[in-house]
């Protein structure tokens, strides 16, 4: 017995020795671990106990898939680089070449304050601290002792890549050491739509700080315009802004005036060729007094209607109708309602193919085509904005230096989840677009500083992209915004697949609401304008669930289930009664909670009233057809 105990102790000593040796070796060569796309890694971050053996990523064809890995060294290192191998399909010869993968080191911004009005528990760190956001342009960096250094990964998945698992090796290399991390990409069997189903704009200052040497309307100016536009399109931004001054006024009072649209025409050609959908032109009018002065009114700017007439003519000549929008006067208040509505009518009369869009601080502004209330106002005045939706206006929303508190926004010292969840909100409330004023409106000539991105405003409010040597440089927040827009597209695809099935089946699918199921999944992440999960795993797992359901609807056997009430509803005792409707392949066998459904029609439509015992809040539906099987569940909440 003593010998056995001694043997066990020796085994434990050996295990501890090997573990210590392995950890010491890792400390000597550097630690490299998998992160996720929703975490801002602070310099002090350590790997923790839940580090996986591989960086696991998921995505669809035609998507930019984001990921993150973190390197940490026990001594200063210079000339550190990152590389990745080709991604190779496990069950075929398919390859996503490494040139389709972009690796970018994270850069940090030192801050000495936090954004005002944000609860402490909603901050990623208390100032003073350093917060990651911009990407380095250079591929070689220095890594300091005991400071975590993330590398951001973006896989540009080809539209023809086969679905399945892909493997690669990510490496961090310095002159005297190298560490590796396996990368696994699960590629869903569908394509992210090329068409954009959300309108997105971050107003730019073009070309902005960092490009003062660029002469207006020079060849370099036009070349840079194309590069900026392509960069925005890659981040799924659809719209850009410009000034009505691009329509030049020539002449004099004696001989009359003409309006030259050639500059605007060239501007439009370049951004449209890059994939931009719409141009917002500022501004038709101006305020007669300060924005909060109750005597203030909106008046038209000089010669604006002559410019609008020229714009209308250009829109018809170039077949650009509905591709130009005009803003009248930013953030009109309630006392501007009448004068603003009159000006909207004049714009429509002068330029019928030009829509009016505005970031607003009021409830109703006449026949404005696109209402863009601030998120907190949208929350407080939502019933009124539902009215303008019903009247035919588009409803977007915007954020800026507000809202604060627990609302989602894109401040530097908030989590990336808050940036990303903004576009789940788009889906939840059927909001067609999103606007922010600050793409690159830096507050100083040092863009990569607190003053640059934050001067006088919450951290990072001024900018979400940075000036580089030959164009714009991305950031964690801009990538998170793109990922959130892609999340929206996943939800849209699920709705679209259900809509196609409804139209194909016809009359016996009249009950099917294609938005119900994506809304059920969306509500796992966000519940209102200001209530949403703070758990990044909930968002990522819900996205996976949406992808799995999109994929399932494109493969046999078909199973569509819709319950009344929707999943997640609180069902009181009474008894508890849920109506289950669904579609299956003609001739399929269907069970609900293990019992056969006897009234499956020849079309595959089935219907059943399901009574739920007190200990069973889950409805499980299974279909079997031609040797294939599929199961789905709907979960409810019970109350007394």
The string of DSSP codes covering 201-215 is EE---SS-TT-TTSP
* Residues lower than pLDDT 50 in the chain: 4, 11-27
Strands (DSSP E) found in 577-627: 577-583, 589-592, 595-596, 605-611, 618-625
Are 95 and 66 within 8 A, CB to CB? no
pLDDT digits (tens, 9 = 90+) for 352-391: 999 999 999 999 999 999 999 999 999 999 999 999 999 9
Q: Who contacts 108 (Cβ-Cβ below 8 Å, separation ≥6)? A: 43, 130, 131, 132, 133
Among candidates 430, 384, 454, which has minimal Cα distance to 198? 430
pLDDT at 176: 82
Query: Which tokens belong to 60?
Result: 């669809």
Query: Which tokens belong to 627?
Result: 């040797």
Query: Which tokens belong to 134?
Result: 């911009």
pTM: 0.94
Are 585 and 556 within 8 A, CB to CB? yes
Per CATH, which fold does 199-473 belong to? Answer: TIM Barrel (3.20.20)
pLDDT at 3: 58
pLDDT at 17: 41
Query: Which tokens belong to 76?
Result: 């200063």
Query: Which tokens belong to 430?
Result: 């059927």
Please, where in the chain does CATH 2.60.40.10 lie? 18-191, 556-640
Among candidates 486, 422, 433, which has minimal Cα distance to 62? 486
Q: Who contacts 469 (Cβ-Cβ below 8 Å, separation ≥6)? A: 137
Are 110 and 128 within 8 A, CB to CB? yes
Query: Which tokens belong to 467?
Result: 């000036």
Q: What's the first-to-final CA gap in the chain, in angstroms?
A: 58
CATH architecture of 556-640: Sandwich (2.60)
439/469 Cα distance (integer angstroms) = 17
For 507, what's the count of Cα atoms within 13 Å in the CB-facing half-sphere?
A: 1
Burial class from Cβ neighbours inside 10 Å (0-12, 13-18, 19+) for residue 216 reads exposed
354/308 Cα distance (integer angstroms) = 9
pLDDT at 253: 85
**What is the greatest pairwise CA distance in the chain?**
115
Please list the residues that pair with 398 across neighbouring strands. Answer: 374, 435
Dihedrals φ, ψ of 205, to 5°?
A: -105, 110
Dihedral Cα 62, 63, 64, 70, nearest 10 deg: -130
pLDDT digits (tens, 9 = 90+) for 280-304: 999 999 999 998 899 999 999 999 9
With DSSP H G I counted as helix, E B as strand and the rest as coil, what are the percentages for the chain, rounded to 5?
Answer: 30, 30, 40
Q: Who contacts 471 (Cβ-Cβ below 8 Å, separation ≥6)? A: 224, 227, 228, 231
pLDDT at 90: 97
Please, where in the chain does CATH 3.20.20 lie? 199-473
pLDDT at 494: 98
124/115 Cα distance (integer angstroms) = 11
pLDDT at 277: 98
> Which residue is listed with tokens 């605007």?
264
DSSP single-letter state for residue 475: B
Range 18-191 classified under CATH 3.90.1170.50: no
- 600 CB neighbour count, 10 Å cutoff: 22
pLDDT at 23: 40
Dihedrals φ, ψ of 419, to 5°?
A: -70, -45
């Amino acid at each position: 017995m003593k010998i056995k105990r001694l043997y066990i102790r020796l085994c434990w000593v050996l295990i501890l020795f090997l573990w210590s040796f392995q950890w010491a070796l890792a400390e000597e060569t550097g630690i490299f671990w998998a992160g996720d796309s929703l975490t801002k890694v602070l310099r002090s971050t350590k790997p923790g106990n839940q580090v996986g053996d591989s960086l696991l990523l998921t995505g669809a064809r035609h998507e930019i898939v984001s990921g993150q890995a973190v390197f940490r060294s026990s001594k200063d290192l210079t000339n550190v680089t990152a590389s990745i191998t080709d991604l190779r399909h496990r069950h075929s010869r398919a390859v996503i070449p490494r040139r389709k993968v972009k690796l970018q080191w994270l850069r940090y911004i030192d801050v000495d304050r936090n954004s005002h009005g944000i609860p402490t528990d909603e901050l990623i760190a208390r100032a003073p601290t350093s917060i990651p956001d911009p990407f380095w342009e250079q591929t070689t960096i220095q890594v300091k002792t005991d400071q975590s250094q993330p590398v951001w990964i973006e896989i540009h998945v080809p539209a023809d890549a086969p679905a399945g698992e892909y493997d690669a090796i990510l490496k961090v290399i310095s002159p005297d050491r190298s560490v590796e991390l396996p990368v696994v990409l699960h590629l869903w069997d569908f394509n992210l739509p090329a068409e954009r189903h959300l309108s997105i704009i971050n107003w730019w200052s073009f070309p902005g700080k960092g490009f003062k040497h660029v002469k207006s309307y020079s060849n370099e100016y036009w070349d840079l315009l194309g590069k900026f536009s392509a960069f925005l399109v890659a981040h799924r931004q659809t719209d850009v802004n410009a000034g009505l001054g691009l329509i030049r006024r020539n002449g004099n009072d004696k001989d009359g005036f003409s309006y030259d649209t050639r500059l605007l025409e060239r501007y439009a050609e370049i951004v449209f060729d890059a994939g931009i959908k719409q141009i917002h032109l500022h501004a038709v009018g101006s305020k007669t007094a300060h924005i909060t002065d109750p005597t203030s009114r909106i008046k038209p700017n000089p010669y604006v209607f002559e410019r609008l007439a020229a714009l209308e003519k250009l829109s018809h000549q170039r077949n650009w109708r509905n591709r130009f929008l005009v803003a009248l006067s930013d953030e009109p208040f309630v006392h501007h309602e009448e004068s603003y509505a009159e000006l909207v009518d004049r714009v429509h009369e002068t330029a019928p193919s030009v829509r009016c869009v505005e970031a607003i601080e009021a409830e109703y502004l006449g026949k404005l085509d696109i209402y863009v209330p601030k998120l907190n106002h949208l929350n407080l005045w939502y019933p009124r904005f539902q009215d303008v939706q019903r009247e035919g206006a588009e409803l977007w929303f915007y954020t800026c230096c507000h809202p604060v508190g627990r609302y989602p926004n894109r401040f530097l010292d908030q989590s990336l989840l808050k940036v990303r969840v903004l576009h789940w909100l788009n889906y939840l409330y059927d909001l067609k677009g999103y606007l922010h004023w600050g793409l690159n409106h830096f507050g100083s000539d040092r863009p990569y500083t607190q003053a640059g991105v934050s001067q006088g405003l919450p951290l990072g409010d001024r900018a979400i992209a940075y000036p580089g040597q030959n164009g714009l440089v991305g950031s964690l927040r801009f990538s998170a915004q793109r990922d959130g827009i892609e999340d929206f597209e996943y939800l849209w695809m699920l709705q679209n697949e259900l809509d196609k099935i409804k139209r194909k089946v016809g009359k016996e699918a009249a009950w099917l609401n294609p938005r119900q199921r994506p809304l059920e999944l969306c509500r796992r992440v966000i519940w209102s304008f200001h209530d949403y999960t703070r758990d990044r795993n909930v968002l990522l797992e819900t996205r996976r669930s949406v992808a799995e359901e999109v994929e399932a609807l494109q493969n046999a056997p078909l199973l569509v289930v819709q319950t009344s009430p929707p999943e997640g509803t609180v069902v009181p005792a009474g008894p508890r009664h849920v109506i289950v409707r669904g579609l299956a392949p003609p001739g399929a066998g269907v069970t609900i909670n293990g019992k056969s459904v006897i009234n499956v029609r020849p079309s595959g439509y089935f219907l059943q009233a399901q009574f739920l015992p007190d200990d069973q809040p889950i409805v499980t539906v299974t279909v079997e057809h031609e040797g294939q099987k599929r199961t789905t569940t709907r979960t409810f909440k019970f109350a007394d």
